[in-house]
């Protein structure tokens, strides 16, 4: 398992159980996810985005179902990838219906871009067609595969580096996740499951 270098800071000695819990935050993987994001101003950061959905019990319930569905689908993927993919597509369809009824946000689930990222429980790196200034706050929508479960998270840009490659992407963006409650815990569980489901070299 790899550790997230950007987040691997030295900390005072803590109880073993707490150390084990926090250590999961630093496992990182290369993974294909659905991703959309927007930059936040100061007012947005405090009022318009609530990743925990505490004010929307039904949305929180759907998020909990998505979390359990993602765990089960990840396990099924090892035994029958075709069935897991079919269930993921069905969940995506249901998510689109739920979005039409529950969300005032006009962003469609089809507007998410499927991209390869390097991701951990504490942050993420991805390629972007434009630069984003460090310290910029972002509202992220992350769609985990194959279950197509959707997470709403907040993050801060910690680094933006030009990259030399052909194609539209010109910058490598690194972000650090802020406190995101159950969404962040679901992401960590997804990463751990991905780690253990990846075939290991002999």
Q: Does the residue 89 lie in any domain?
A: yes
pTM (whole model) above 0.75:
no
Yes or no: say if 111 and 118 are a contact pair by the CB < 8 Å rule.
Answer: no
Range of the domain at 148: 33-45+56-197
Residue pLDDT, tens place only, 49-105: 544 433 345 666 677 777 778 778 878 887 888 888 888 888 877 777 766 665 554
Residue pLDDT, tens place only, 19-65: 554 555 668 899 999 999 999 986 555 544 544 433 345 666 677 77
Yes or no: say if 139 and 178 are a contact pair by the CB < 8 Å rule.
Answer: no
User: Residue 37's domain is classified under what CATH number?
Assistant: 2.40.10
Q: Does the residue 51 lie in any domain?
A: no
Q: What is the mean pLDDT of residues 135-149?
A: 89
Q: Does the residue 169 lie in any domain?
A: yes
Q: Does the residue 91 lie in any domain?
A: yes
Domain count, the chain: 1
CA angle, 43 then 49 then 54, to 5°: 130
Higher pLDDT, 16 or 30: 30
- Confidence class of residue 193 from pLDDT cuts 50, 70 and 90? confident
Distance CA 188, CA 21 (A): 10
Q: Does the residue 134 lie in any domain?
A: yes
Q: Does the residue 87 lie in any domain?
A: yes
Q: Does the residue 27 lie in any domain?
A: no
């Amino acid at each position: 398992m790899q550790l997230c270098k950007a987040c691997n800071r030295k900390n005072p000695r803590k109880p073993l159980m707490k150390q084990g819990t926090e250590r999961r935050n630093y496992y990182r993987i290369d993974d294909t996810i659905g991703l959309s994001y927007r930059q936040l101003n100061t007012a947005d950061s405090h009022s318009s985005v609530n990743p925990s959905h505490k004010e929307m019990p039904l949305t929180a319930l759907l998020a909990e179902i998505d979390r359990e569905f993602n765990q089960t689908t990840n396990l099924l993927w090892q035994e029958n990838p075709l069935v897991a993919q079919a269930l993921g597509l069905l969940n995506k369809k249901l998510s689109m219906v739920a979005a039409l009824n529950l969300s005032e946000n006009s962003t469609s689930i089809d507007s998410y871009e499927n991209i390869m990222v390097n991701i951990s429980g504490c942050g993420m790196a991805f390629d972007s067609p434009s630069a984003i200034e460090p310290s910029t706050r972002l509202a992220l929508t992350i769609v985990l595969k194959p279950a197509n479960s959707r997470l709403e998270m907040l993050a801060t840009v910690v680094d933006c580096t030009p990259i030399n490659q052909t194609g539209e992407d010109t910058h490598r963006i690194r972000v650090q996740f802020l406190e995101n409650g159950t969404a962040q815990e679901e992401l960590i569980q997804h990463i751990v499951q991905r780690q253990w489901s990846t075939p290991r070299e002999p």
